[in-house]
Amino acid sequence: MKRTLLLTLLSVLHIYAIAQPNMALKRKVLDLDTIAANKQYRFYLPYTNTGDELLVIRECVSTSSRIRFSPGKQVLNANGKGHIYLRLDTKEPGRIKEKVTFTTNDPKHPRVVMTLKAVVTENAPGPKLVFDTTFLNLDTLDYNSDLKFFFTFRNEGNGPLLISNCQSSGGSVICGNYSIEPFMPGEAGRIAIHYDAKRVGPSVKSLTITSNDPESPVCSLTVKLFIRDPKESPDGSQGTPSK
């Protein structure tokens, strides 16, 4: 009996010892290349809790007052993904090489460090966000269908492109995954969109994309579609008007 209790206790202690959180940054070095002076750059730092316990980010500290965070404290479940909003103010020309330190509850790695690098100039080349199309006509879809599609784009400018936000005009359209890291000149990317088709009839939704494109910092995308009434047949006959 005592031996069984001892083995059980040792097993519990072993599980407790190996179960712990771990903050894994997607990138330990963020190189923004050449950026403009007297500008404000906003972007996100993606990370994952690759551990088995709740991750708590207790503090974010940088070596420069030009870098701000939001939120400074975060809690993330095991195997969850999150991001930290970062704002960089470039005041004068010169080279930037700052360190950002995250303090967590990981007993093995309580501090995770990321390096941010950039060259700040007065006349920095700017990015240019160009979408393959800004309008999608998805025609007719079935009610309650789970639709996912993409808007693709390219950086046709001469500086790093940062997508800082994607906002939809209604709850049925949700901006999904898109890279929150810089797109260098010539690089392409895409923004995933999820549509929850639970309202019958015609629908036109807009999405607002915010970036650091100096000429067009805000651009709009449009999605048009028609959701078929579930009471109607595919050809529209023997149907009941939607309310």
Which sequence spans correspond to the domains of the chain?
21-121, 129-228
Q: What is the pLDDT of residue 112?
A: 94
Q: What is the pLDDT of residue 170?
A: 67
What does the pLDDT look like over 98-146, one tens digit per residue?
999 999 999 998 999 999 998 898 877 788 999 999 998 877 777 777 7
pTM > 0.85: yes or no? no
**Given a cut of 50, is residue 243 above it in pLDDT?**
no
What is the architecture, at CATH level 2, of domain 21-121?
Answer: Sandwich (2.60)
Terminal Cα distance for the chain, rounded: 69
Which CATH code for domain 129-228?
Answer: 2.60.40.10
Q: What is the pLDDT of residue 21?
A: 94
- Fold match between domain 21-121 and domain 129-228: yes
Cβ atoms of 44 and 180 closer than 8 Å? yes
